Structure 1
Amino acid sequence: MSSMQPAGGPSQPSPGLSADHPGITELFALLAYGEVAAFYRLTDEARMAPDLNGRINMATMAAAEMGHYELLRDALERRGVDVIPAMSRYASLLENYHRLTTPSTWLEALVKTYVGDALAADFYLEIAGVLPLEIADVVRGVLSETCHSQFVIEEVRSAVSTSDMQRSRLALWSRRLLGEAITQAQYVLAERDDLVDLMLASTGGLGQLAEFFEHLQRTHAERMTQLGLA
């Protein structure tokens, strides 16, 4: 995933959670489909770039997505799981998110890359905090920084520094991305009990789960500031 590291550091892995927990297989499958979907999204959105530099940056991020997918495929195979049917269970949910957040401009595509993917990283890395070390390492490897965040920040900040209208439009778009990301995360948790178990283990219960979604909004505000959209 071409996402940026979340604003807060992840918690330490919990030695008490078994590496055989069925939620880990579901987590890997969800991430795997996310990587494939992101690859196609980035290659499509690269065509929106106004210059060769933008297209190359998007294409490089897309290539990284497939490398991350291969990590997850291998991790699932080590667990005796066929990646295609496993990840296909999440196709409708993730495709629905991308359908509802299809960018109409190059700048919207950049904001989605930066903000949308970082929100997903917050969600997955919160879960990673309670996983056995070897499992957490896979998740963090998939969500690792791909060194293109500065490219996005510079392009967006430059565009909005000279246009209040552009800033307002992108700020509204960013808030929409936040709302859809939280909604889709809730849908995923509603359908997959094993993932709920992992999430509750990471947050400490339902009350803390609500606090986690509030934390997403706070880190989102920090990223808005980084992009010049606050």
Structure 2
Amino acid sequence: MSDSSPGVADLLGVLAYAELTAFLRLAEDAACHAPTLADRAALGELAAAEYAHFRLLRERLASLGADPEEAMEPFVGPLDGWHEQTAPADWLEALVKAYVGTGIAFDFYREAAAHLDDETRRLVEEVLADEGRSQFAVERVGAAIKEDPRQAGRLALWARRMVGEALSQAQQVAAARPELATLLVSGEDITRMFTRLTEAHNRRMDALGLTPGP
């Protein structure tokens, strides 16, 4: 797969905008939902890491001769729509969204990156690195459920909604950018890919102490 193909620019563009919005949303969650100064500081650090990832992607797009803003523009509507549909009502919902919702979306991007050249694939793997988001969410959500087990049912339903909305977002993006969709299925058994995505999602739910559900 050539690193100058339209699918590559699309993948880097959607990732760049995803990282930019992740930075903005984490900063907003820190300001609006974090219950303690320590939590606010921790989310601030995660937000800073997301912005650093955005800068790497922007620089890579520019090095390929692409305009970063033009590469991101097709994905503004779908990603902003997803965030609007999944605005968390409280601190725990924000954590589940950051871990489960963002996690399954990033899994799709990893699947697409598997078919790219080595340099671009390494960059994608670098910007999709966890940076402590998982541990932070698992610890906070686990402690909250231990303190109040009734939270588990509510958060499990919220997590399932995250997955549904993420899949809807992926379908919109694939329909709008067929070159990007081609990366996902290039030489791949689509059933096996969705099996991997489902297994990864179930592991996240287990880590949170939530039942994955149907």
Give your verdict on TM over 0.5. yes
Q: Counterpart of 1:165?
A: 150
TM, length-normalised to structure 2: 0.93
Please list every run of 5 or more consecutive structure 1 residues that lacks an aligned counterpart in the other structure. Answer: 1-16
Q: Is the 8 A contact 1:178 1:217 kept in 2?
A: no
Paired residue type of 2:200: T
1:215 is the counterpart of 2:196: yes
Residue 18 of structure 1 and its aligned partner are, at CA, apart by 1.9
Q: 2:52 aligns with which of 67, 71, 88?
A: 67
Q: 2:160 aligns with which of 166, 169, 175?
A: 175
TM, length-normalised to structure 1: 0.87
What RMSD over aligned residues (CA atoms) do the two structures have, in Å? Answer: 1.3
Q: What's the CA shift string for 1:151-193, capped at 9, x where partnerless?
A: 2111101111232321100000000001111111111111111
For the residue of structure 1 that corresponds to 2:150, the secondary structure is: helix
1:226 is the counterpart of 2:207: yes
Q: 2:110 aligns with which of 108, 118, 125?
A: 125
Q: Is the 8 A contact 1:116 1:178 kept in 2?
A: yes
The count of residues paired between Structure 1 and Structure 2 equals 210
**CA–CA distance in 2 between the matches of 1:34 and 1:161?**
32
Q: Counterpart of 1:28?
A: 12
Please list every run of 5 or more consecutive structure 2 residues that lacks an aligned counterpart in the other structure. Answer: none
Residue 212 of structure 1 and its aligned partner are, at CA, apart by 2.4
**Greater helix share, 1 or 2?**
2
Q: What's the CA shift string for 1:49-97, capped at 9, x where partnerless?
A: 1101110111111111110011111101111111112212210000000
For the residue of structure 1 that corresponds to 2:35, the secondary structure is: coil
Higher RCO, 1 or 2 (CA under 8 Å, sep at least 6)?
1
Paired residue type of 1:99: E
